[in-house]
């Protein structure tokens, strides 16, 4: 009998207090495929699971008596896995070390020389490779050093959830809020250059059978797992099938109360099905709106990253559909893409706001080692990167420094500059995004900016450029925060993480861009910034004082402020045409009232996609 260590270590995910970890699905599904073979089933058993980054020596102890270690390499665990593999081999020279996964640097011809403790590597899909390796072991044949199989076209092996593969693991950790992965199909017809999905992009899609999917959803719900993470590249691409899957998710929610959340990537070219799915999921409160990854609105950039001509780029069509279906539209943009300039970045923001989309995320471009952009485009666009650690360690500098010392710290290559965006311009893009994310997307100036755009044709980005200068000259803290932001940003670029605070808020590398509202709220200065905005508008544009009064009174209630929660709905009569409606009611969106300011500030960040920090304004 051979014993196997199944290793896919991860960081904790989501808000700290939830103690959430991903179920190690990938390695479980490989196991599920292999044990279909009766000989393998009889002769191989699970020695242990590794799903989190426990201290290496502890993990070595747990795994060292196994005959085989299967390690799944992702960007979040590669260095930990290499170190673990090396130490395992030292502890047990007979153990067979097998690696695979998207972060495997298989293009490097010296890979196995660099990592002599690895016995075998598997490129791209791993199911057939594992089965082959296990069979070689049973037949006493040497294991190939390099395995590369054609993709599977029939995805019909038993689910690791349904065959109970994970049950002992889940049962052993009742304190953990487990996150399951739902895989309903594999592959993607597109080839976005920043994406690293190995052989699965620019390729045919294959499907898992529906019975398996329905039963998996029920398994998650019956276990009370609140959040499901889907692997689909294009959910909604198969109309009937994907609608049915969404229906099952909703049915499960109705029956058990779970799942209550879902992460999924929608089809890029079939808007109507996607909208139907999202409508169903939002009606059941599993999702909060139509989330569209725009990445950029610039034709040139979209062409450079091979995302042109996708229907999701038609933001105005999407907005119309979202409106018709009374569904919030959410989007994200990626900063620093090939061909993006400061001007085109500002235009991106204008384009998004013009569509009345206020729920927006901004991310920095990441370069993944196996992504076409890294392999082919780095030189063409002079893409300079730095190693960012904060994605995994957040502000836990102590842990990061310890892991750097141990040689197991994980990082992501994040864009620093390109031939169209020198690093000082990148900082300008970042600062402007920080400003509009705080002021517009989180409510302080949103209603008045939209009014001016609607009634006086004022460009959003002109309005915000003016307001930014006004605040620099008229607020005592704002220029200080900007200096602190610049310093934190510089340090992030230089060291890959920061320990700086901005306005008393600890900044975390990439999350810094979302920090303005928490900064303002920590200082209890929402009303000051509303007042500043009103004064700026008064000095710059022709508007009636009634309008400014309405704007101030409404916004003070619209922004959810700690200690001033709307435990009852509030009715208001407006004197102006700010909202084109005289009577309104404002109420808390989720009736959720955290007991401490720190929790409140945390929810501003974690709840941003579901507009947690914005009270609901209902026109009567
Ligand atoms: C779910 C998911 C997540 C989850 C976490 C998942 C988890 N289990 O921990 C969340 C949402 C947290 C997440 C976050 C991120 N993710 Co993610 N994520 C995915 C997603 C959608 C599915 C992964 C999955 O489970 N797939 C199903 C398995 C079965 O497929 P697979 O991973 O391709 O595995 C096959 C092969 O690689 C191989 N294989 C894998 N392991 C092994 C091991 C052995 C021994 C063998 C033989 C073979 C083998 O066989 C498998 C089956 O054929 C993928 C995209 C995708 N659709 O795959 C991205 C993906 C894995 N994520 C990616 C990235 C970049 C990120 C982020 C860095 C994004 C960001 N902008 O911050 C973060 C970092 C997370 C963090 N802080 O730790 C990249 C990974 C690139 C890389 N080189 O690792 C991917 C590929 C997305 C992409 N298209 O570029 N992610
Ligand atoms: S980003 Fe999404 S759509 Fe683009 S290639 Fe990757 S999986 Fe496909």
**By mean pLDDT, which of 64-68, 107-111, 445-449 is the weakest?**
107-111
Q: What six digits make up the tokens of 560?
A: 């959810």
Has residue 175 got a pLDDT over 70?
Answer: yes
Is any ligand 2 atom within 6 A of the Cβ of residue 197?
yes
Is any ligand 1 atom within 6 A of the Cβ of residue 196?
yes
**Residue 202 falls inside a structural domain:** no
Domain boundary among the residues 151, 171, 195 is at 151
**Residue 47 falls inside a structural domain:** yes
Neighbours of 544 (CB within 10 A): 12
Rounded distance from Cα 228 to ligand 2 centre (Å):
20
Mean pLDDT for 176-190 is 96
CA 225 to CA 230: how far, in whole Å?
14
Mean pLDDT for 47-59 is 97
Domain boundary among the residues 126, 151, 176 is at 151
CA 251 to CA 238: how far, in whole Å?
20
Rounded distance from Cα 516 to ligand 2 centre (Å):
31
pLDDT category of residue 356 using cuts at 50, 70 and 90: confident
Nearest alpha carbon to residue 201 among 358, 306, 130: 306
Nearest alpha carbon to residue 72 among 91, 61, 85, 62: 85
Residues 529, 444 contacting (CB under 8 angstroms): yes
CA 211 to CA 263: how far, in whole Å?
21
Q: What six digits make up the tokens of 488?
A: 């934190």
* Three-class SS state of 5: strand
Counting from 1 in the atom list of ligand 1, the atom nearest the Cα of 194 is 90
CA 21 to CA 260: how far, in whole Å?
16
Is any ligand 1 atom within 6 A of the Cβ of residue 229?
yes
Task: Please state, for a pLDDT cut of 70, what percent of the chain lies above it.
Answer: 100
**pTM for the whole structure:** 0.92
Is any ligand 2 atom within 6 A of the Cβ of residue 190?
yes
The pick from 74, 396, 412 for probing ligand 1's pocket by mutation, whose C-beta has the most ligand atoms within 8 angstroms, reads 74
Question: Hunting for tokens 């002021």 — which residue is that?
Answer: 439
Nearest alpha carbon to residue 474 among 555, 426, 533, 392: 533
Domain boundary among the residues 96, 125, 151 is at 151
**Residue 299 falls inside a structural domain:** yes
375-419 pLDDT per residue, tens:
899 999 999 999 999 999 887 888 999 999 999 999 999 999 999
Q: Domain span at residue 298?
A: 289-619
Compute the mean pLDDT over every residue in the chain, rounded to the nearest whole number: 94
CA 496 to CA 389: how far, in whole Å?
5
Is any ligand 2 atom within 6 A of the Cβ of residue 195?
yes
**By mean pLDDT, which of 192-206, 298-312, 485-499, 581-595 is the weakest?**
192-206
Residues 250, 280 contacting (CB under 8 angstroms): yes
Is any ligand 2 atom within 6 A of the Cβ of residue 233?
yes
For atom 72 of ligand 1, the residue with the nearest CA is 391
Cis preceding linkage at 190, omega within 30 = no
Contacts of 530 (CB under 8 A, 6+ apart): 444, 551, 552, 555, 556, 559
* Three-class SS state of 287: coil
Counting from 1 in the atom list of ligand 1, the atom nearest the Cα of 410 is 78
Residues 13, 225 contacting (CB under 8 angstroms): no
For atom 6 of ligand 2, the residue with the nearest CA is 195
**Residue 226 falls inside a structural domain:** no
CA 305 to CA 299: how far, in whole Å?
10
**Residue 245 falls inside a structural domain:** no
Cα-Cα end-to-end distance for the chain: 71
CA 556 to CA 68: how far, in whole Å?
61
Contacts of 43 (CB under 8 A, 6+ apart): 1, 2, 138
**Residue 172 falls inside a structural domain:** no
Rounded distance from Cα 193 to ligand 2 centre (Å):
8
Is any ligand 1 atom within 6 A of the Cβ of residue 25?
yes
User: Ligand nearest 191 Cα, by number?
Assistant: 2
The gap from C-alpha 456 to its chain's centroid, in whole angstroms, comes to 37
Has residue 420 got a pLDDT over 80?
Answer: yes
Rounded distance from Cα 598 to ligand 2 centre (Å):
36
Residues 384, 416 contacting (CB under 8 angstroms): yes
Nearest alpha carbon to residue 216 among 263, 168, 248: 248
Q: How far is CA 473 from CA 257, 268, 425, 544, in A?
A: 51, 44, 22, 24
217-276 pLDDT per residue, tens:
999 999 999 999 999 999 999 999 999 999 999 999 999 999 999 999 999 887 789 989
Nearest alpha carbon to residue 567 among 577, 581, 575, 557: 557
- Pairing assessment for the beta strands 570-573 and 185-186 based on DSSP bridges: unpaired
pLDDT category of residue 198 using cuts at 50, 70 and 90: low
Counting from 1 in the atom list of ligand 1, the atom nearest the Cα of 10 is 9
CA 96 to CA 2: how far, in whole Å?
11
Rounded distance from Cα 408 to ligand 2 centre (Å):
29
- Pairing assessment for the beta strands 2-10 and 20-22 based on DSSP bridges: unpaired
Q: What CATH number has the domain bearing residue 52?
A: 3.40.50.2300
For atom 7 of ligand 2, the residue with the nearest CA is 233
Counting DSSP H helices and E strands in the chain, the numbers are: 24, 24
User: Ligand nearest 76 Cα, by number?
Assistant: 1
In a 10 Å sphere around its CB, with 0-12 CB exposed, 13-18 middle and 19+ buried, how is residue 495 labelled? middle
**Residue 194 falls inside a structural domain:** no
CA 448 to CA 358: how far, in whole Å?
13
Contacts of 211 (CB under 8 A, 6+ apart): none
For atom 2 of ligand 2, the residue with the nearest CA is 233
Counting from 1 in the atom list of ligand 1, the atom nearest the Cα of 76 is 78
Is any ligand 1 atom within 6 A of the Cβ of residue 390?
no
Is any ligand 1 atom within 6 A of the Cβ of residue 389?
no
Q: Indicate the number of domains in the chain.
A: 2
Residues 478-481: contacts with CB under 8 Å, at least 24 apart: 481/516, 481/519
Is any ligand 2 atom within 6 A of the Cβ of residue 201?
yes
Question: Hunting for tokens 């067979």 — which residue is that?
Answer: 96
Residues 557, 615 contacting (CB under 8 angstroms): yes
**Residue 136 falls inside a structural domain:** yes
Contacts of 83 (CB under 8 A, 6+ apart): 56, 406, 407, 408
Higher-scoring residue by pLDDT: 339, 322: 339
Q: What six digits make up the tokens of 75?
A: 């960007």
Residues 71, 97 contacting (CB under 8 angstroms): yes
Neighbours of 497 (CB within 10 A): 26
CA 39 to CA 31: how far, in whole Å?
13
514-568 pLDDT per residue, tens:
999 999 999 999 999 999 999 999 999 999 999 999 999 999 999 999 999 999 9
Q: How far is CA 388 from CA 52, 76, 365, 411, 423, in A?
A: 21, 12, 12, 5, 15
DSSP state of 47: E
Is any ligand 1 atom within 6 A of the Cβ of residue 122?
yes
Output the pLDDT for position 320: 83
CA 407 to CA 529: how far, in whole Å?
45
Q: How far is CA 123 from CA 116, 195, 216, in A?
A: 17, 17, 27
Q: What six digits make up the tokens of 477?
A: 């803290």
60-107 pLDDT per residue, tens:
999 999 999 999 999 999 999 999 999 999 999 999 999 999 999 998
Instruction: Give the ranges where 496-610 is alpha helix by DSSP (H).
Output: 516-522, 526-540, 545-558, 597-606
Rounded distance from Cα 235 to ligand 1 centre (Å):
16
């Amino acid at each position: 009998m051979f014993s196997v260590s199944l290793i896919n270590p991860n960081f904790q995910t989501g808000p700290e207090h939830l103690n959430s970890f991903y179920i190690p699905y990938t390695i479980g599904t490989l196991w599920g495929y292999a044990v279909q073979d009766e000989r393998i089933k009889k002769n191989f058993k699970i020695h242990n699971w590794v799903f989190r980054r426990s201290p290496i020596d502890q993990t070595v102890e747990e795994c060292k008596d196994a005959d085989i270690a299967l390690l799944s390499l992702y960007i979040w665990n590669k260095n930990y896995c290499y170190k673990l593999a090396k130490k395992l081999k030292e502890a047990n020279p007979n153990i067979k070390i097998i690696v695979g996964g998207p972060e495997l640097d298989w293009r490097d011809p010296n890979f196995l020389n660099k990592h002599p403790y690895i016995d075998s590597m598997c490129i791209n899909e791993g199911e057939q490779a594992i089965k082959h390796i296990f069979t070689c072991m049973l037949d006493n044949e040497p294991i190939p050093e390099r395995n590369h199989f054609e993709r599977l076209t029939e995805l019909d092996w038993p689910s690791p959830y349904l065959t109970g593969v994970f049950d002992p693991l889940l049962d052993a950790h009742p304190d953990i809020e487990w996150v399951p992965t739902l895989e309903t199909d594999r592959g993607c017809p597109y080839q976005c250059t920043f994406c690293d999905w190995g052989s699965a992009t620019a390729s045919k899609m294959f499907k898992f059978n529906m019975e398996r999917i329905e039963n998996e959803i029920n398994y998650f719900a019956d276990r009370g797992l609140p959040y499901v993470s889907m692997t689909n590249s294009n959910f909604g691409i198969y109309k009937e099938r994907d609608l049915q899957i969404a229906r099952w998710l909703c049915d499960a929610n109705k029956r058990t109360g779970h799942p209550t959340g879902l992460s999924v990537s929608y089809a890029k070219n079939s808007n109507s099905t996607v909208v139907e799915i999202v409508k169903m999921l939002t009606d059941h409160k599993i999702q909060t709106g139509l989330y569209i990854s725009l990445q950029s609105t610039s034709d040139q950039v979209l062409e450079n990253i091979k995302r042109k001509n996708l229907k999701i780029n038609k933001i105005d069509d999407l907005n119309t559909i979202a409106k018709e279906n009374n569904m919030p539209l959410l989007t994200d943009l990626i900063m620093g893409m090939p061909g993006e300039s400061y001007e085109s970045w500002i235009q991106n923001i204008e384009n998004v706001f013009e569509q009345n989309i206020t729920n927006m995320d901004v991310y920095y471009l990441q370069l993944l080692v196996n992504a076409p952009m890294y392999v082919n485009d780095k030189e063409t666009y002079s893409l300079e990167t730095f190693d960012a650690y904060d994605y995994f360690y957040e502000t836990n500098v102590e842990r990061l420094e310890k892991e750097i010392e141990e040689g197991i710290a994980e990082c992501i290559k994040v864009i620093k500059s390109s031939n169209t965006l020198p690093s000082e311009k990148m900082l300008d893009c970042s600062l402007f995004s920080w400003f509009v994310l705080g002021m517009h997307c989180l409510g302080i100036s949103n209603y008045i900016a939209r009014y001016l755009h609607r009634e006086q044709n004022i460009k959003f980005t002109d309005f915000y450029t003016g307001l930014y200068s006004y605040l620099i000259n008229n607020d005592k803290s704002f220029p200080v925060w900007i200096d602190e932001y610049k310093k934190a940003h510089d340090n992030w670029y230089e060291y890959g993480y920061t320990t700086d605070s901005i306005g008393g808020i600890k900044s975390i590398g990439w999350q810094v861009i979302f920090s303005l509202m928490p900064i303002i709220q920590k200082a209890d200065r929402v009303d000051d910034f509303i007042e500043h905005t009103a004064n700026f508008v008064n000095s710059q544009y022709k508007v009636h004082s009634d309008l400014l009064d309405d704007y101030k009174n409404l916004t003070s209630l619209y922004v959810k402020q700690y200690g001033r929660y709307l435990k009852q709905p509030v009715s208001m009569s407006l004197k102006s045409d700010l909202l084109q409606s005289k009577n309104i009611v404002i109420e808390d969106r989720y009736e959720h009232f955290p007991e401490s300011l720190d929790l409140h500030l945390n929810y501003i960040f974690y709840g941003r996609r579901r507009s947690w920090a914005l009270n609901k304004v209902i026109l009567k």
